[in-house]
Amino acid sequence: MKADQERSKKRKNMFYYLAQEEAASSFSSIALANQLVNGIGIVGILLLTGLGLAITFGVMRIINLAHGEFIMLGAYVTFVLQSNFNLDLLLTIPFSFLITGAIGALVELTIIRRLYGRPLETLLATWGLSIVLQGVIKLIFTAQLKYVKAPPYISGNLTLLTDEQGSPAIAISYYRLFIVAIALALLALTSYLLNNTDLGRQVRSVTQNRDMSKCLGVNTSLVDMITFAYGCGLAGVAGTVISSLKSVSPPMGQDYLVDAWMTVVTGGVDKLVGVLAGAFLIGQSNAGIAYLLNDPVARVIVLGAVIVLIRYFPEGLFTVQKRS
């Protein structure tokens, strides 16, 4: 009883201490700038995880709830290659793209194809798939946390501004910049593939009018398979890049799933620039609000804002007018 009272007192003191500290760090534009610069890192992750999703959702109109698990698979590919062959993280990117892409193609052939035109069923099936993938990975690698080494040459921070004492006031780690670079590169690559190749033209025509493309001789089922595999491959790359930020574990993909979806529905899937805009809006508003209030509140506000946004712009902010 007495011990309890003391404990409660201690807790109280701790609370007051925290409150004071919070009051001390009052609004400062430099700290806000730092927060926003670091928000770019979040933007990179959102872009990376949302890109694959945007492509599969845009072309096939399917809800892939197993996207997080493909991210997880990519991370495990990197883990296996790194622990067995001591490969550099950068060198594992092509492997994780190919392996997760192949698994994606297999999934499309065996499951997604049977549920064509029933988006809610695909949603359920991919949720089942996500449970299965998690379970299988847990069987093989156990639930233990695994760690992946970041490339040693991408370390340290880029300091943009130092304060009077010489310590960095606005700084961002090189690795986060690297994530942004990879994300932008993949965005550019995807955009090139979509706009400048024959296959890309077919993919775009299927996005706009599936039946008409079929009539004009586009092999839509092949397009579907390649699109899904490509989307999953991108998720794999995202997994590889993210793997060294946190630990690698079977449920790791779940953390990214909801955020990736919010990115995609915010920007819309008709244009790739929508994903970039979605990632930027969500990432930066999250960082900004988190600075003014705190992290959980920022997340709640941003998710609420996305709900309101879907209500008024269900197709996202960047849409193309089309006949349906």
Residue nearer to other proteins on the CB measure, 245 or 303: 303
* Residue 26, φ and ψ in degrees, nearest 5: -75, 180
- CA–CA distance from 233 to each of 18, 97, 237, 239 (Å)? 44, 4, 6, 10
- Based on the shown chain and the rule CB under 8 A, indicate whether residue 156 belongs to the binding site for other proteins: no
Q: Is 49 in contact with 71 (CB distance < 8 Å)? A: yes
Q: Which of 30, 91, 139, 140 is close enough to bind other proteins by CB under 8 A?
A: 139
Residue nearer to other proteins on the CB measure, 17 or 85: 17
- Based on the shown chain and the rule CB under 8 A, indicate whether residue 322 belongs to the binding site for other proteins: no
Q: How many other C-beta atoms are found inside a 10 Å radius of the C-beta of residue 27?
A: 8
Residue nearer to other proteins on the CB measure, 33 or 309: 309
Q: Could you please report the per-residue DSSP string of 220-244?
A: HHHHHHHHHHHHHHHHHHHHHHHHT
Residue nearer to other proteins on the CB measure, 89 or 264: 264
Hey, which residues between 258 and 287 contact other proteins (CB under 8 A)?
258, 261-262, 265
Gap between the terminal Cα atoms of the chain: 69
C-alpha R_g of the chain: 22
- Based on the shown chain and the rule CB under 8 A, indicate whether residue 292 belongs to the binding site for other proteins: no
What token pair was written down for 312?
Answer: 């008024």
- Least distance in angstroms from the C-beta of 166 to other proteins: 35
- Least distance in angstroms from the C-beta of 123 to other proteins: 6
Hey, which residues between 85 and 124 contact other proteins (CB under 8 A)?
111, 114-115, 119-121, 123-124
- Based on the shown chain and the rule CB under 8 A, indicate whether residue 312 belongs to the binding site for other proteins: yes
146-144-180-204 Cα dihedral, nearest 10 degrees: 120
The type of residue at 264 is V
Angle between helical axes of 295-312 and 254-267 (0-180°, round to 10): 40
Residues that bind other proteins (CB under 8 A): 4-5, 7-8, 11-12, 15-16, 61, 63, 111, 114-115, 119-121, 123-125, 127-132, 134-136, 138-139, 254, 258, 261-262, 265, 294-297, 299-300, 303-304, 306-307, 310-312, 314
